[in-house]
Structure 1
């Protein structure tokens, strides 16, 4: 059977676009699938330069034919390279391209054949899934960070943007708000994600130890240095180094750190040889570095070198709508580790958590849940299982109100209305001509407990 005469039929039935170009990059053939991918008809493509598609995966030299035309003819082929092309309507199309150089019997280049697989729909679906996961925290948050409040969604977007470059990032925020999680998320979202991520707590080490920790030392560099040591910068080569509490770095080490950032080279303690390092630097602090600069405790040139892209990690008090989500995550983890059948929080306990100011941020919330697991044996965590400073918020507000005669009278009047309404807040709101939300807010302000005060 002579199958050669059926080649055109076979090519025309392929689901992937197929184009043939000559050594000068001119299109000489295109199948129907290529027409669908590019939006051009075969007649519009044939005779045109392949540049018409503006492919991001092509390295055009343009100084002649064959190897003088583009990188494809130099390499001899391309395997499954993700690219963007521009279709006839000037829209970008995501494709996977494979290509092979065609040669005659003498080995001379006579052209190339390319296959184009449209993956635009697949990319769109992946982006939608990613968005849904961020919104509803289906994958335990954004690279381990939980939150769906507007301020956190904005932070996630900023992380994604800055992760695509090697720009130095400074993360600012209160203690316990998750600065290390943000640093790790930047690393995971970056092109360095498969390389080392190294953290250094600059506040935990004295001047001599910190210098050795960062840059390493040679044997005999100081008393006790009985062997050479590789520093954290070398360990993080091609990856990311996270300098936590950078505001605590002493001035002498600040000078050496600045030199490393500018020259991308380190010198081990006791050595005068330079070692090149390729490291993405992320720093974090809860201190006001500008005030430290005014006091002469922090170098201004170092500050500008590490603060190229500042990121603010919001405190828990600024994203209260995330508290139920974060608390439930801690409950699930503690339930697994403790073996207790605790499912969640009672409405009253959740209300107490939401009302509390959280000066210790997420770290304090985690500790509060662990505290509750000690007292609660099963079922739901109630107010009685929470630390007193969190559970006693209503009592504090009640005591403060009772010391103010006007506030005390308003409190007593509201309690009387609630009793007349049989404890029904909606009915009390109707009797006073206000909304139910107003009644709820006044109860909070006065520290009114429905069971104890209204009965």
Structure 2
């Protein structure tokens, strides 16, 4: 059965392979190439068949010949090559990295008559390896620390303090505006400390109302609060032996501040389900974007809790105060986004970088990430230009007298095109598309209606 399939359809199978295939005789003459190899090396079939395989400048063959001064390819003496990483030269002069597997073919008399080479394109893998290596350099070398990127003096001092604080059991409070990376610092404190193998529990104090936050932090009596599991373990108990991260502690209601203070003083928590007291050994890491001394004066934050929580304060600088880090941040985010989107954008133009540097960044690093995401939606080349940045950068363009390439589309067509691109980039997620475009969700709904763009499983243009 198989012999019949190969006899009738073997050539069709080879021509429809996604990997390149080439037949070469012992003297190096190319006898056959399939469609995939034509596409891989950008030659027409008639430009290769009958030519010597030296035309492809395989670096593996070149190294073997230079070492052994062989006139015959080593493949014909060894009989096979397995998982050999090689570089071939395309017709246009560019190099392409491939994984080569090859074997010799023999006739009825066991004489070697040809070799078949199977070439797998490694370009995309090689590119991702390059980007990952670059990201590792940013995150692990002098320009980064535990996911935080920067080499400015203020960031280096913050890295040193975080590294030292990680080994202490004293409570740590992280101050910083929204988008500066407070959660990354909290995670670093846990990973670098002695509790790294113990739980790391996070609670956002601003995301829950008072009743839910009370239930999450301290637990609840069985049946005392509606929910699928009224006997669930509290976050404090879950963090026992490890670290509890209280994000946005400045938003915690006063009544819960009193309960938290008691837990920190007594080092125990009462389990609501059975009223048993559980000894508690947990380090508290908190963060806030608020001015806690001001909240104390206003009666919105307890002074005794403040002093108990802020034994080790860590201040995260806003992006506007460390603009020397902007180039390396931009480079890292471009590399990261190119992996996620598979778009080969390599850099940002000098004019666009000047705009980025001039901008005040009220949303800090998170806003910069969003701006790069937005630029990736609009950029179709390998370089981010000023016109690819979010709309509010247009004001900066005028202030800095930077020329911008005008769109060939009308204003209506231009907005509609950006809308469609943003929706496609986010798989129809309107909230994410609005974020990429720098507009509100209400505005994007207006645009959808105005420009008659339908969003379902497929974007209807």
Shared fold (TM-score, shorter chain, > 0.5): yes
For residue 264 of structure 1, what is the aligned residue in structure 2? 267
For residue 183 of structure 1, what is the aligned residue in structure 2? 186
Q: Indicate if the aligned counterparts of 1:221 and 1:270 stay in contact, CA closer than 8 A.
A: no
Q: Indicate if the aligned counterparts of 2:173 and 2:287 stay in contact, CA closer than 8 A.
A: yes
Provide the rounded CA distance (Å) in 1 between the counterparts of 2:326 and 2:173.
25
Q: 2:206 aligns with which of 194, 203, 208?
A: 203
Note the 1:219-368 alignment, pairs <5 A.
219-224=222-227, 227-269=230-272, 271-368=274-371
Provide the rounded CA distance (Å) in 2 between the counterparts of 1:211 and 1:450.
55
Normalised to the residue count of structure 1, the TM-score between the two structures is 0.56
SS class of match (1:283): strand
| Structure 2 CA distance for partners of 1:166 and 1:271, relative to 1, 3 Å | same
Q: In the alignment, does 2:376 pair up with 1:373?
A: yes
Which structure is larger by alpha-carbon Rg, 1 or 2? 1
Q: Indicate if the aligned counterparts of 1:221 and 1:269 stay in contact, CA closer than 8 A.
A: no
Number of positions where the alignment pairs a residue of Structure 1 with one of Structure 2: 270
For residue 169 of structure 2, what is the aligned residue in structure 1? 166
Unaligned runs of 5+ in 1: 1-132, 398-446
Q: Indicate if the aligned counterparts of 1:241 and 1:281 stay in contact, CA closer than 8 A.
A: yes
Q: What are the superposed Cα offsets for residues 171-215 of structure 1, whole Å, 9 maximum, x if unpaired?
A: 111111111111111111111112211111000111111011112
Deviation, 1:244, is 0.5
Provide the rounded CA distance (Å) in 2 between the counterparts of 1:178 and 1:451.
33
| Structure 2 CA distance for partners of 1:302 and 1:345, relative to 1, 3 Å | same
Unaligned runs of 5+ in 2: 1-135, 406-461
Provide the rounded CA distance (Å) in 2 between the counterparts of 1:271 and 1:247.
31
Deviation, 1:268, is 3.3
Provide the rounded CA distance (Å) in 2 between the counterparts of 1:207 and 1:451.
50
| Structure 2 CA distance for partners of 1:338 and 1:451, relative to 1, 3 Å | closer
4+ long deviations beyond 6 Å: 133-136
Note the 1:143-154 alignment, pairs <5 A.
143-154=146-157
Q: Indicate if the aligned counterparts of 2:171 and 2:283 stay in contact, CA closer than 8 A.
A: yes
SS class of match (1:154): helix
Q: What are the superposed Cα offsets for residues 248-305 of structure 1, whole Å, 9 maximum, x if unpaired?
A: 1111111110011111111234653211121111111111111111111111111111
**Greater CA drift, 287-296 or 355-364:** 287-296
Deviation, 1:448, is 3.6
Q: Indicate if the aligned counterparts of 1:243 and 1:284 stay in contact, CA closer than 8 A.
A: yes
| Structure 2 CA distance for partners of 1:270 and 1:290, relative to 1, 3 Å | farther
Provide the rounded CA distance (Å) in 1 between the counterparts of 2:368 and 2:175.
20
Provide the rounded CA distance (Å) in 1 between the counterparts of 2:139 and 2:367.
24
Normalised to the residue count of structure 2, the TM-score between the two structures is 0.56
| Structure 2 CA distance for partners of 1:346 and 1:451, relative to 1, 3 Å | closer
Provide the rounded CA distance (Å) in 1 between the counterparts of 2:299 and 2:137.
42
Q: 1:138 aligns with which of 138, 141, 158?
A: 141
Deviation, 1:137, is 4.9
Provide the rounded CA distance (Å) in 2 between the counterparts of 1:227 and 1:139.
48
